[in-house]
């Protein structure tokens, strides 16, 4: 099935009066490359999608069901007890909506008229009545799992946006976010129709002070001309922009030169 790289729905019109929806992932796109973001938001020209991570989605669903079973009982999950966290899964009538892709928890920033939203994985609540943002991650590697790699900064920004959204909706939010990171172990004896996982709880001291100024920058970007090719969040030139540039140069170079007739 071919991908539609152009979608004119929900594109931003300069000076528009109605609120414009910006998802958590679109904020991340802006941070990675303002030019790719502008093409997406202004013209509906989207980056090519990567392959779907079906296993990650399956793990997410299973973890949600597992923690939901303790949510119903208002009891701590064993991993909370293991890490001496005085918390339980948070109960709220809108939790299922906040978890739903393309819906999530949202907030209208009146200063920019941008409606910011994002879908959370889970929320816990501690004894101080503070909400703890929890995000599920899955991988398969032989080394110990952590969130120290530069490319994982996007994970950190993700939970910081969720914290910001909850605060804007009037919730008291704990400064620490938590990653439930599960690792599919490579069994030396073979597959045998079985995967064994080892789950690790990773605490992260979050700081969402960057969100407000980034939203203002996004608004300015939406109102302005297409940004020049710039640096990606992890350094270097955006891979998508570099590919587009090189492909265009090669295409133009391969075109036959038109002969100009003398008058």
- Tell me how far apart the alpha carbons of residues 87 and 77 are, in angstroms, rounded to a whole number: 9
Residue 123 CA to residue 233 CA, distance in Å, equals 28
Give residue 262's pLDDT.
63
Joined together, the tokens standing for residue 205 give: 């001291």
- Pull the structure tokens for residue 234: 């992890």
Q: Note whether 120 and 104 are within 8 A (CB).
A: yes
pLDDT for residue 51: 79
pTM of the model: 0.90
For residue 4, the model assigns a pLDDT of 47
Q: Where are the domains of the chain?
A: 54-108+117-211
Measure the CA–CA gap between 39 and 54, rounded to whole angstroms.
Answer: 28
Predicted pLDDT of residue 52: 78
In what helix (H) or strand (E) does residue 86 lie, and over which residues does it extend? none
Neighbours of 199 (CB within 10 A): 15
All residues at 6 or more sequence positions from 206 whose CB lies less than 8 Å from its CB, including other chains: 133, 156, 159, 160, 163, 175, 176, 177
- Report the alpha-carbon distance of residue 177 to residue 204 in Å, rounded: 5
Q: Are 66 and 77 in contact (CB under 8 A)?
A: yes
- Percent of the chain exceeding pLDDT 70 equals 92
Q: What is the pLDDT of residues 13-59, one digit of tens each?
A: 999 999 999 999 999 999 999 999 999 999 999 998 887 777 888 99
Alpha-carbon distance 155 to 190, whole Å? 32
Q: pLDDT below 70 — which residues of the chain?
A: 1-9, 188, 234, 258-263
Token readout for 213 is 């100024």
Which tokens in the block code for residue 67?
């923690």
Tokens of 86: 């005085």
* DSSP bridge pairs for 138: 182
């Amino acid at each position: 099935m071919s991908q539609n790289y152009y979608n004119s729905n929900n594109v931003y019109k300069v000076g528009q009066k109605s609120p414009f929806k910006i998802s958590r992932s679109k904020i991340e796109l802006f941070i990675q490359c303002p030019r790719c973001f502008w093409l997406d938001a202004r013209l509906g020209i989207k980056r090519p999608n990567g392959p779907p991570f079906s296993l990650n989605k399956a793990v997410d669903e299973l973890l949600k069901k597992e923690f939901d079973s303790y949510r119903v009982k208002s009891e701590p999950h064993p991993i909370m007890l293991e890490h001496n966290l005085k918390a339980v899964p948070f109960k709220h009538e809108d939790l299922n909506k906040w978890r739903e892709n393309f819906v999530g928890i949202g907030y209208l920033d009146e200063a920019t008229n941008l409606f910011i939203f994002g879908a959370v994985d889970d929320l816990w609540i501690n004894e101080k009545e503070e909400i703890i943002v929890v995000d599920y991650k899955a991988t398969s590697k032989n080394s110990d799992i952590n969130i120290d790699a530069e490319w994982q900064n996007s994970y950190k920004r993700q939970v910081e946006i969720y914290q910001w959204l909850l605060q804007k909706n009037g919730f008291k939010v704990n400064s620490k976010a938590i990653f439930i990171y599960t690792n599919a172990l490579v069994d030396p004896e073979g597959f045998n129709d079985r995967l064994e996982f080892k789950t690790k709880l990773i605490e992260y001291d979050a700081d969402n002070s960057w969100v407000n100024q980034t939203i203002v920058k996004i608004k300015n970007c939406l109102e302005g001309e297409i940004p020049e090719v710039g640096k990606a969040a992890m350094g270097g030139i955006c891979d998508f922009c570099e590919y587009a540039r090189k492909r265009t140069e090669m295409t133009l170079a391969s075109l036959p030169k038109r002969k100009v007739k003398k008058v």
